[in-house]
Amino acid sequence: MLKEAIQEVRVFAPATVANVACGYDVLGFAIDSPGDEIVVRHCEKPGLHITAISGDEGKLPKNPEKNTAGVAALDLLRHLGMTDRGIEMEIHKKMPFGSGLGSSAASAVAGAYAVNKLIGEPLSKKQLLPFAMAGEASADGAWHADNVGPCLLGGIVFIRSNDELDVAQLPAPKNLWAAVVHPDIEVLTKVAREILPKDIPLQNATQQIGNLGGLLCGIIQEDYGLISRSIHDVIAEPRRQKLIPEFYKAKRAALAAGALGFSISGAGPSVFALCEGEETAIKVGEAIAKVFSAIPLGNQVYVSRINPHGVHVVEEKKAKG
């Protein structure tokens, strides 16, 4: 019988909105739901073992070396010299693949965070970032923290450098809400990246930098007018909108319903609107959903404040003895 302070821990890792229009690969925020849950527990058999996966339609491998959550957890255990520690892992996917909501990031974050908790929390949340990044990179080959960062740390996260993982949390304005809508289609990140321009005109680059700076200042100063004027993407959105049916119709509907701004969440197909107040966010979510439903295209609406906590423990079971 293992004598550990904690025998089992269940954690929840939330969905995230990456890019936030003008912050391509350098800005993201967490929302309350959907998200993934992971359960880890001590076991007698040495090594990490994925014993169950639900909600994945049989798509995910149980081999931890080939699973996003497993890769992140193994990377952490190797760093700590604990690869012989016996750990069982269950993965419960509660958000769709290829949704633009950071599904791979959520699994990677949950895997690293849950194992870190189980073994006595030797590392802080921020110290877990490279291990969660390694997990997500194993899924899509890209190394950018705009999903992993906010999922792990919570709130709005700005990434000065993805290579150095130099990240900073921004204080979210108290009345800033997000309406996120996921239409029932899949957009592969690989495809969404391939259609982006290889060269960016200086005028567009200058405009994008100005918008990003304005958005960051607006967030910090709680200036909703400045936030609204700054949520404009002149680089990725014009190319990627063609992957999302009726994108500009949905954008017009969101702005008409009172959204501060509207754009694509990550690589899509999910879209998001930032709003001042819950009531407006609900109205905006309904307006966007109505556009997709009219096609007809099934969709899910998530209305949330900016989630300040990120990944967190849902339940802990203490060890006996």
Active site residues: 136, 189
Parallel, antiparallel, or unpaired for β 27-42 and 156-161? antiparallel
Neighbours of 298 (CB within 10 A): 12
Interatomic CA distance for residues 307 and 12, integer angstroms: 12
Which residue is listed with tokens 């954690």?
A: 11
DSSP string, 110-145: HHHHHHHHHTT--S-TGGGHHHHHHHHHHHHS----
Planar angle of CA 277, 282, 285, nearest 5 degrees = 120
Which residue is listed with tokens 């919570």?
A: 154
Q: Which residues contact 78 (CB under 8 A, 6 or more apart)?
A: none
Residues 137-152 as b or e (16 or more Cβ within 10 Å = b): bbbbebebbbbbbbbb
The separation between the first and the last C-alpha atoms of the chain, rounded to the nearest angstrom, is 8
For residue 110, what are its two tokens? 């949950």
DSSP string, 190-244: HHHHHTS-SS--HHHHHHHHHHHHHHHHHHHHT-HHHHHHH---SSSHHHHGGGS
